[in-house]
Structure formats: structure tokens, C-alpha cells
Structure 1
Amino acid sequence: MTMGLSWQQGPLGGATVGRFLTPEPLPQRLLFAEPLRRRMRVKLAGEWIADSENVVLLHEPGRYPVAYFPIADIRPSVLTLEDRATRHRDLGDTAWFSASVGDRSAAHAAWQYTGLPDHANVLQDRVAFAWRAMDAFYEEDERIVGHAADAYHRIDIRQSSRHLVVRDGDRVIADTTHPLVLFESGFAPRWYVPREDIDEAALTPVEGRTFCPYKGLASYYDIGSHRKAAWSYPQAWSEVARISTLVSFEPDKIEVFLDSKRLALEPGQGVLPHGIDRGLDPDEMLERGNHPDRQRT
């Protein structure tokens, strides 16, 4: 799960809970581009194919941030123009490239806008790489997973004494007066419950895990007939280590009450789940959660 400037309920996300204080309504879609101000590199077939300190990050409504590299900072002869061409609703004609290193080739691996309007010329002569087509992306010497990091993304965790109860009909699944509440940019608060306050017999582990670029690898649970109604980060990354092993419950799938008021999933809170990046072992992510001294950029 991830959000920030243009995702979920962020100010450019399309379902924001706030508003810009302007006399005239803003366009329904606002795109925002800014310099990343971090060295970013791309790896394919074990070799660096792009290395730049001049990356531009594009925030587009309802999408994860995308990094655009100057053509001059991309290794020569790696990209080959394809016959494929598409058109972006705001940015115009789009050319696509395959990427090749040695015997390794990836189709639809990168794209470039070739018919940009004048107001978007900051993206002129820049190429973006398809995340799943590449082996890895790095900021300095640390691997970034999921997508380019959103500088507007923030997580705060607070201890609470509010009364949180989770029910499946007449059965009490969880009952606590000391939950942790996780506030994440663009998201409604998420409530995490200590294991000792949960009837763990009600939780059925399910196959399949997703990961959050900001929290780590998530495991899921069915509750009765409610599919994936709860989740947990067994070894959350160091920045959010306080929620490790705790369980959070999805209020649109199971009854969650906070101080006797039933919670509901807020508009714009649907999640586009991440699979694991190419070449990224789930055990590697769990190992990362075991090292609190390893900080992310």
C-alpha cells in the first residue's frame, strides 16, 4: 500500500478529503513534476543501464510516482525503438522501447513522450523505465522497491487508549484498549491490535503476500467467510517496527468498532497491491526488517 501527493486521498489523487482554497475550481486532473534531487540508477541483467542525478519525478492522479531519466544519462545502445505507440491523455504521443543487455532483452521496457504540450516540456528528452521490466532501481546504493519513492509520503504511529472491538457477527475477534494507530499520507487511520488482545483461533492464514515500499512484507488472514479481512507485517521495516506482528482489520470486510462507532472504508481507499519486484526474494525483505540499523533513504 502506498500513497502520497497523487495517490489515495492525497491532494492530487482525485479523492482528497481536503481542498485548494482558490476562487475558481481546479481541473479534475493535475499533474506535478519536480526534480528528484537524489542519484537514481537502474539495473538490468546485472549491469547499470541508467545513472542520473537529474531525474524528474512525475506525480499523476491515481498513479504511483514515476522517474524520468535524461536520455544522456542512459547507457547507449540499450534502448531500441519499438513499433508500439500509444497516446497519453494529458501528455500526448508516446513512443516505446525494448531494452537489451547482452543476451537479455525486455519488451515494452521504457517509454518517452514525443508530442508534449509546451507546459510539460520539463519531460522533454526524458525516458521512464517500466518498473517490472527492470531488475532493480536504486537511490545511491540502496534498492528502492515498488516504485520511485514519494517525498510527500509520511507515516506516524501513535499509542492510543481508545476502545477498539472487532466482531464477526456475535463472535468477538479482538478487543483492546491499547491499539496503535498508524497515520499514513493520503490514508484514513489504520488501527493495529496486539496479538494478546486477539482471538487468534479466528484468524486463518492465507497464501499470498504483498509488500508496501514503506512498511515491508504483509501477510493476510481470512476471518470466517471474510477473505483477507486482516493483515500483519511479521517483520516490519525499521521505520515502522512498532507495528511488527500486530494485526489490522479491514473495516469493509469485518465489523470494526472504535469507541462503539463502526468504522467504514473511506472513499478513495482502494489499494493497488504490489507483487514482489523482479529478483527480490521475500526472505530478503523479511531480513531487511530484522536489521533496525538499516535505514532507508
Structure 2
Amino acid sequence: MTFPGPAVPVGHVEPCPRRVRARLGGRIVVDTTGARYLWEHPWYPRWLIPADDVDPDALAADPGHRRHDDGSLALTWTAFDAWFEEDEEVRVHPRSPYVRVDALRSRRRVRVELDGVVLAESDAPVLLFETGLPTRAYLDPTAVDASLLEPSATVTACPYKGVTSRYWSVRTPAGRYDDLAWSYDHPAAAVARIAGLVAFYDERVDVVVDGVRQERPRTHMA
């Protein structure tokens, strides 16, 4: 199965009901309740900001900002120190109004294998359902064979889940596989149940759920 299926067509624009702000150099330089979402590709939107709601000095700091056809601004995300929806910081990109993320406790039995080696097995996973991505099983560390894991310096961030605390590569008799597993110590409140648990890229391992081997999904994530 290939993920994700786009929720809206590329080029779609719609109002954003949230107050959007950006900070640069210790100052709020973007502050608007008139932002709009623009989908330039299927996975997530960017914001279009009314030009009057942007400090002109902030525009001069980065030549990558673009003016949209209607005069609003498509600002370079990384040109600012932090972005906020209302009073909560948003990382990586705006949250799509068409993405839902749920972390649910489950009694399904999940086994994770690679090269015929069992990496983890649990009958008490937390299943994370995120629109447009495969279901991820988050497992208690005690259910994971730590002898097969090697710490990695990789860090990733997600606007829906937060910033990872750890990544691991996996070594089996067949070889080493970089950055296959990760964990969040302090995930976003909406998915607090995954705190301290370990997940694997289903795209790169073999997952068996209740005795049924799952097809490896294809995504832009791995």
C-alpha cells in the first residue's frame, strides 16, 4: 500500500481560523488572524500571511520569502526562530486541518522482525493512527531486544508528535540498518500515551499483527 493519499488537491487554498505568529531575534515579527493554508504538495500546507501583518524588517532578513498572486506572503519557515498557533509552538510546518492523530491502547499482538530476527514483540502496544501514514505500533522498551539496537545521533521533529528523544539503528547477522527505531520522551499532549515507547519504520521492517504478516507500506517517510 502506498501512503499518503492527498486529502486536498495541490493548489488548494482555504482560511486558517487560528492566530499565527512568528518570532525572530526575540521579537514577534508576524502576528495575524488572517492567515490562509496553501497546499503546494499533497502532504501538508504552508501559510499565506497578509503582508500588513509582517514586520518589514523580517522580510529583509531572508530573500527566500515569496509574494503570492493576491499580495499575501509565503514566508520561509526556517527564516524564523519559532512559529506559533495561538500560544502553542508549531514545529517543521503548519498542522493540516485534514490530519488527525490518535494514540490508542490496544491488545493486539505485534511482532517486529528483520532478516528473520525478532526485534520486538508485545501484546500491549499503543497504536498511533495518523492520517495519510501507516499505523505505527509503539512498544514498551522491555518488549524490544535492546541487544540489537545501536544508539544514533539522529533527531527528527513532527508538528503532531513533537521532537524525538532517541533514535536507534538495528544490527542483525545480515547487517546494520540505520535509524529504524525512535522514541519520544515528551510527545505532544494529544499523543501523550506514546511517551517513552519505541516505534519502528514499518516501511523497513516486517510487522506481524495477531499472526498476520503486514505488507510493507510505501511512504515518503522512509
TM-score class normalised by the smaller sequence? 0.7 to 0.9
**In 2, Cα distance between the equivalents of 1:182 and 1:241?**
11
Structure 1: which 5+ residue stretches go unaligned?
1-6, 13-28, 80-98, 117-123, 273-297
Counterpart position of 1:111:
66
TM-aligned CA deviation for residue 255 of structure 1: 2.3
TM-aligned CA deviation for residue 170 of structure 1: 4.3
Counterpart position of 1:120:
none
Counterpart position of 1:220:
167
Conserved in 2, the CA contact under 8 Å of 1:226 and 1:254? Answer: no
**In 1, Cα distance between the equivalents of 2:195 and 2:118?**
23
Q: TM-score, normalised on structure 2?
A: 0.86
Counterpart position of 1:70:
50
Asked whether 1:136 is paired with 2:82, we answer: yes
Mark the structure with the bigger radius of gyration: 1
Superposition map of 1:275-286 within 5 A? none
**In 1, Cα distance between the equivalents of 2:18 and 2:75?**
17
Asked whether 1:258 is paired with 2:205, we answer: no
Counterpart position of 2:28:
48
Runs of 4+ in 1 over 4 A off after TM superposition: none
1:147-200 Cα shifts (integer Å, max 9, x gaps): 122222211122222221122334322121121211111112111111222211
**In 1, Cα distance between the equivalents of 2:116 and 2:12?**
48
Conserved in 2, the CA contact under 8 Å of 1:42 and 1:51? Answer: yes
Structure 2: which 5+ residue stretches go unaligned?
none
**In 2, Cα distance between the equivalents of 1:211 and 1:239?**
15
Superposition map of 1:126-275 within 5 A? 126-218=72-164, 219-224=166-171, 225-267=176-218, 269-271=219-221
Quickly say closer, same or farther: Cα 1:251–1:188, change in 2 above 3 A: closer
Conserved in 2, the CA contact under 8 Å of 1:40 and 1:140? Answer: yes
Quickly say closer, same or farther: Cα 1:30–1:209, change in 2 above 3 A: closer
**In 1, Cα distance between the equivalents of 2:87 and 2:104?**
31
1:13-66 Cα shifts (integer Å, max 9, x gaps): xxxxxxxxxxxxxxxx54221111122122222223222111111123335311
Quickly say closer, same or farther: Cα 1:252–1:48, change in 2 above 3 A: closer
Give 3-state SS (helix, strand or coil) of 1:241's partner: helix
Q: CA RMSD in A?
A: 2.2
1:103-160 Cα shifts (integer Å, max 9, x gaps): xx3332x1013xx4xxxxxxx1111110011222222333222112222221112222
Q: TM-score, normalised on structure 1?
A: 0.66
**In 2, Cα distance between the equivalents of 1:168 and 1:63?**
28
Quickly say closer, same or farther: Cα 1:37–1:257, change in 2 above 3 A: same
Identity of aligned residues (%): 29
Quickly say closer, same or farther: Cα 1:142–1:250, change in 2 above 3 A: closer
Give aligned pairs, total. 215
